[in-house]
Amino acid sequence: MKATKKNERQLTVSVVLICQTIPQKVLLIYHKKQDCWQQPGGHIEKFEDPLAAAVREVREEAGLDISSYLPSKVRIDGVASTLPRPDYTFEYLIPKRHNEPQHYHIDWLYVVKLPKPFPVKLEEKAALEIGWFNVNEALNLPMLNNTREMLNRIITDK
C-alpha cells in the first residue's frame, strides 16, 4: 500500500451485522490497533467495488459469507452498473499515529440483517475477540464515541 499523505481521503467499507432474533444481536470485533470494539470493515482495495469489499472484509474478519444478504449491483449496459447506496456514509478523522499522518476515511456502511447469529470465527490478525452482543451489551462495551452513536442511530432507525 502506498504511503498515506496528510489529510488524504481513503475509501473504506464497514458492515453492521444485526440478527433479527429477540433480543436483537450485533456482531462486533475487538480491534487491537483501535483498542476497542467496532463493526467489521476496512479499506476498499484498488480493483474492488464497495460490495465486494464488504463481503471480503466480513469473510476475512468473521469467517462469514454475507454476499446473499447484500443488495446486488445492476448492470445498465456494457459500461455502467448501479451500485446500491450504503445505509450510511461517514467521514472519520484518523489521527496521526507513529509514521502515519492524520488522514480521513470515507466509509460506506452497510447494515445487514441476518435471521440468526451465525457462528463466527476470529479470522483477522488485527483483532483480539469477536462476538454477538445484544443491544444493551454492545452499547456498554468500550468503543469510540462515534461508533456508539452510529450503533444507536442504526438501532433506532431500523
* H or E stretch covering 28: strand 25-31
Q: Are 90 and 109 in contact (CB under 8 A)?
A: yes
Residue 47 lies in a domain: yes
Query: In terms of DSSP H, where are the helices of the chain?
Result: 50-62, 135-139, 145-157
CATH number at residue 101: 3.90.79.10
Residue 52 lies in a domain: yes
Asked if the model's pLDDT at residue 113 lies above 90, the reply is yes
Residue 3 lies in a domain: no
Binned at pLDDT 50, 70 and 90, residue 63 comes out as very high
Residue 138 lies in a domain: yes
Determine the average pLDDT of the residues in 23-35: 91
Determine the average pLDDT of the residues in 126-153: 90
Binned at pLDDT 50, 70 and 90, residue 156 comes out as confident
Q: Are 103 and 7 in contact (CB under 8 A)?
A: yes
pLDDT of residue 143: 95
The percent of residues above 90 in pLDDT, for the chain, comes to 71
Determine the average pLDDT of the residues in 92-115: 93
**Mean pLDDT in the chain?**
91
Q: Which of 108, 60, 115, 56 is nearest to 84 (CA)?
A: 108
pLDDT of residue 158: 52
Residue that is written with C-alpha cell 463466527 in the block:
120
Asked if the model's pLDDT at residue 127 lies above 70, the reply is yes
The alpha carbon dihedral of 136, 117, 130, 44 has a sign of negative
Q: How many angstroms separate the Cα of 100 from the Cα of each of 1, 60, 119, 140?
A: 12, 24, 35, 30
Give me the domain span that covers residue 55. 9-157
Residue 40 lies in a domain: yes
Count of domains in the chain? 1
Binned at pLDDT 50, 70 and 90, residue 153 comes out as confident
Cα 78 to Cα 80: distance, rounded to the nearest angstrom: 6
Binned at pLDDT 50, 70 and 90, residue 1 comes out as low
Asked if the model's pLDDT at residue 124 lies above 70, the reply is no
Cα 31 to Cα 10: distance, rounded to the nearest angstrom: 19
